[in-house]
């Protein structure tokens, strides 16, 4: 969950709380017919954003009622659909239910993890256990807890940041990357699958 002021879904509770006050103010204003006309204009003006939104339109070929749900996840990031789907398919072939995310600090929100939580759901109905193995914010104190110190996932997913010239995997040095190895929480992993920008490492032990 991102806590940023431009994520309007977090404003919803404020809009709901203030709506009684707005209704009371409008009811006290003179000229009821003019107020009703004004409100009707506002409702009509909202139609283009409701029925013909850029990424979630109600009408047209890309309507949310006709486009499969899975494709809707990637409407804004279509270039990630293939690597994410193929990564999930690869992990579904492995008897691995403990999966770790190892992402570098991503203040811009360019690393998109949400689809993995959906795609990595077992066809049997049992969800895989997914944890973050790196945190560069206040959440890093959680990594010092025993439950994390002793956590040993059988697979680790990394996602490179686009146009990032730095080491995309943070703690992996050049020699380790050359050998296609990764070490996290004193456990070794080897690169088993990749499709830019996604890589999957499987535990050596």
Closest CA to 92 of 71, 120, 62: 120
pLDDT of residue 171: 43
pLDDT of residue 187: 81
Residue linked to tokens 């990394």:
158
Identify whether the C-beta of residue 205 lies closer than 8 Å to the C-beta of residue 187.
yes
Tens of pLDDT along the chain (205 residues) come to: 455 555 666 778 888 999 999 888 888 888 778 888 888 998 899 888 888 777 778 887 888 888 888 888 888 888 889 999 999 999 988 888 899 988 865 555 567 888 888 888 765 566 788 888 877 767 777 777 777 777 888 999 998 875 333 333 344 444 445 557 888 777 889 999 999 889 999 998 6
Residue 72 CB neighbours (<10 A): 13
């Amino acid at each position: 969950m991102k806590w940023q002021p431009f994520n309007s879904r977090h404003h919803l509770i404020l809009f709901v709380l203030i709506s009684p006050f707005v209704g009371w103010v409008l009811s006290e204003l003179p000229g009821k017919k003019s107020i009703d006309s004004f409100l009707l204009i506002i409702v009509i003006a909202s139609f283009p954003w409701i029925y013909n939104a850029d990424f979630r339109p109600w009408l047209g070929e890309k309507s949310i009622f006709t486009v499969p749900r899975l494709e809707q996840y990637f409407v804004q990031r279509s270039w990630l659909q293939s690597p994410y789907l193929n990564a999930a398919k690869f992990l579904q072939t492995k008897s691995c239910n403990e999966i770790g995310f190892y992402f570098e600090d991503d203040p811009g929100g360019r690393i998109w993890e949400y689809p993995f939580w959906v795609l990595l759901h077992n066809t049997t109905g049992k969800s895989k256990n997914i944890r973050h193995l790196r945190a560069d914010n206040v959440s890093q104190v959680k990594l010092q807890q025993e439950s994390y110190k002793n956590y040993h996932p059988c697979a680790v997913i990394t996602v490179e940041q686009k146009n990032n010239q730095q080491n995309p995997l943070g703690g992996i040095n050049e020699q380790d990357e050359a050998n296609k190895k990764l070490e996290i929480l004193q456990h070794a992993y080897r690169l088993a699958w990749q499709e830019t920008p996604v890589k999957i490492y499987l535990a050596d032990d």
